[in-house]
Every structure is written in C-alpha cells, then in structure tokens.
Structure 1
Amino acid sequence: MAKKYFILFLLLFVSRLFSQNFDINTLRSINVNRNADLDATFKHVTNSYAIVSVGIPLTLYTVGLIDNNTGLRQKALFVGESVAASVFITIALKETIKRDRPATSYPEIEKLTSSGGYSMPSGHTSIAFATATSLSMAYPKWYVIAPSFVWASAVGYSRMHLGVHYPTDVIAGALVGSGSAYLTYKINKWLNKKRSKEQL
C-alpha cells in the first residue's frame, strides 16, 4: 500500500514539476514539427507494445514447459504479472486523474493513431516499461537491459510523435511501468519467503 501511494506521489510531483506550458510546447515541437516520413515507423513502434509484452512471457513460459524448466516459467510469470500490475495501476490512475488527450484541448496537435480513455499516464508506455524492467530484473545482462529500455523509450516517444500523449503522460507511464515491475518483484519475494517458512 505504501508503494502505491509513493508512486502516486511521484506522478503528482512530476505533474506539478513540469507546467502545462512545458508539456504542450514540448509536444508541439515533437508532433507539429515532426518528420512525417517517420509516421508509419512510429505507428509500428507504438503497436509493438502488445506483441512484445504478451509475446515475451508467453514464449518464455512455452519454452519452460517444453524444457521442463521451472526457473524459466517463474521468470515468464514475473514478466506477465508485472505487465498485469501496470495495466491495473494505469487504469486506476487514468480514472482518478481524468486528463483529456492533447488534441481535445489543442487542435494544432495532429492525432495520428486511435486512442481511448484519458491521457495520464500513458498505458502503452507503462506496459512497455513494465516489460523492459521485469525482463531486465529477470535477466540482468547488458544485452537484455539496453535493447529493452531503448524499445520501451521508443514506444514512449512514439506516443508523443503520434499526438496522443503529453510528455508528462509518458514520464508517468515509465514510472508506473517500472514501479509495477519492482512492486511485483518485492511481492513475489515476500510470498516465496512466506512459503519457505511454512514448509519448515
């Protein structure tokens, strides 16, 4: 519960730290002045969040079943649980904060992809960072960590390029996603310790 309130505090702090002027001015520089030749590329990047975030834990779990590898299955479940936690927290925050999408308030912002619901925090970014963080915790190697966070950051940037999120939505999404993975790790660690004590 304390972690949940800490994350909420961070989101509110970030929201206050960056004024609405900063938010819209930065978004204008990214969206209005964008290189339109990259629109299709960023649409692919933004859509990759679901394929990667569902595909990785499913693939790991399937390989774990085939190889009868309990450790691999546990890592797959950890990644999947982290993503699920980020979805739950993101939805709760969206419904609490109720921030409109940029194009609703600023008609010069060109919305290039479909988007539903409220804006803060970015769900795509949250899920991408939950995947990147949990995967990096499960496999703490530079060749896993670096591409994971480059991809997650690209997903976050794509949401601004496509005009559906403010910068602070993306920052908040990254915090929620990373925080969800860390919270899931701590809960799993506590549950495992509890089970070990019960078996003694």
Structure 2
Amino acid sequence: MYFIHVTISALANTDVAILNWLNHHRIEVLDPFIQFITNTAYFFAIGVPVIMLIVGYSKKNKFIQFRGWYILFSILLAEIVSTILKYGINRTRPFKVYPFIDKLTAGGSPSFPSGHSTDAFVLFFAVVIVFKEWKYRLPVLIWALLVGYSRMALGVHYPTDVLGGFVIGTISPFILKNAVPRYKQQFN
C-alpha cells in the first residue's frame, strides 16, 4: 500500500513540475496565438463534420455524408465519456491548487480530462480513419498537438488531463468504427 501511495505522489509531483515548466517557459509573445489555438478546439471539432455534412448533402455525395456523420458521432461519444469522467472525478484545476501557475484563459469545469484535448484528438483520429492521405491528417495532427500544449501552457490543465483527453480521443473513433456494424463494414 505504501508503494502505491509513493508512486501516486511521485506522479502527481511530476505532473505539477511539467505543468509549471510549460506554464513558465512559454514564449509570452505567442500567448495570443496560443489562446487562439485553444479557442478553436470546439469550433473545429463541430465545424469540420458539420461542413462535411453540408457539402455532402448539397452535392448529394454519400461518401462525404457518411464520413461527416461518422466524425460527428465519434466526437459526441468522446464528449459524453469526457463529461462523465470530468464530473465523476471532479479534479480541481491546477491554478486553483497551485498559486504559482499562471491562468491565462478560461477554465471553469473540473480539470480531468481536458475537454479541448479530447475534442482535438478525437477529430484527429476520426480523420485518420476517414482519410488515408496525410495531406488531411498532418494539419489536424499539428493542430491537435498545439491544442493539448495550449491547455498546459495557459495553466488550465495538468499534463495528465491532456493525456486523458488524448486517450479518450484516440479510443472513441475506434470504438465507434468497430462497434457499429455499418461503420465496421465501411471502413474495413
């Protein structure tokens, strides 16, 4: 039991140390850009599949429609899991616990997992499943990594919160792909 307590304590200390370093070693002149990136998470997560659906239905393109719905449902699944965990675990935001962490953007709900990171990574992994070309994948990957970084640099999430968002964002599209027969048949 003592070993588990020491291990958890060491992980928590590492979590805070990484956050502190990222928060205080950011390039401050880039703060507006980092705040812009963080504010795009929800917009892109919902905007990309909605635009795909609008284009798909206006062009009567079943291929685009199907993939738009798949991305949207992947995001909704990830949001549901993230919200349940967020309020079930109810982790306090780092800037409320550690006064040396600079809070540079909004962060009101519980901390774990990062909803912004969940949205960014679920969009990326859904795009990986839907599009085989890296010309679509690479910009979304770079953006998702920047969103995850932004949540820590701006002082509103621990690294493990971002990691939790990454895990949920990774798993959700794959669960949907393999659990729903229509998606399993289409993507395999």
What TM-score does the superposition give when structure 2 sets the normalisation length? 0.90
**CA–CA separation in structure 2 for the residues paired with 1:146 and 1:192:** 23
Q: What is the Cα deviation at residue 146 of structure 1?
A: 1.5
Quote the residue 2:63 is aligned against.
71
Question: Does the C-alpha gap of structure 1 residues 34 and 65 become closer, same or farther in structure 2, counting only changes over 3 Å?
Answer: same
Give the equivalent residue in structure 1 for 2:137.
145
The alpha-carbon deviation at position 193 of structure 1 amounts to 7.1
Count of aligned residue pairs for this structure pair:
179
Structure 2 residue aligned with 1:113, among 102, 105, 120? 105
The Cα of 1:181 is off from its aligned counterpart by 1.2
Could you say if the C-alpha distance between residues 38 and 78 of structure 1 is closer, same or farther in structure 2, counting changes exceeding 3 Å? Answer: same
Identity %: 32
Counterparts of 1:193 and 1:105, CA distance in 2: 44
Structure-1 residue corresponding to 2:88: 96
Match of 1:134 in 2: 126
> Are the aligned partners of 2:18 and 2:159 in contact in 1 as well (CA < 8 Å)?
yes
When residues 79 and 16 of structure 1 are mapped into structure 2, their CA distance, relative to the original with a 3 A threshold, is: farther
Q: Which of these residues, 47, 52, 55, is aligned with residue 47 of structure 2?
A: 55
Alignment check: 8 A CA contact 1:18 1:168 kept: no
CA distance in 1, matches of 2:125, 2:95: 30
Q: 1:191: how far off?
A: 4.5
Give, in whole Å, the separation in 2 of the partners of 1:161 and 1:192: 37
Counterpart AA for 1:152: A
Please give the secondary structure, in 2, of the residue aligned with 1:116: coil
Mapped partners of 2:45, 2:8: distance in 1? 30
> How far did 1:187 drift?
2.4
Counterpart of 1:41, as a letter, is F
| TM-score, scaled to structure 1 | 0.84
Contact between 1:32 and 1:108, CA under 8 Å: does it hold in 2? no
CA distance in 2, matches of 1:54, 1:83: 8
- Please report how far the alpha carbon of residue 34 of structure 1 lies from its aligned counterpart in structure 2 after TM superposition: 2.1
Unaligned runs of 5+ in 1: 1-14, 195-200
User: Which amino acid in 1 is paired with 2:143?
Assistant: W
| 1:83 paired residue number | 75
Structure 2 partner of 1:41? 33
1:33 Cα offset (Å): 2.6
The one-letter code sitting in structure 2 at the alignment partner of 1:113 is T
Structure 2 counterpart of 1:133, one-letter code: F
The amino acid of 2:159's aligned partner reads P
* Alignment partner, residue 125 of structure 1: 117
Provide the alpha-carbon RMSD of the alignment: 1.9
Instruction: Report the residue type matching 1:67 in the other structure.
Output: K
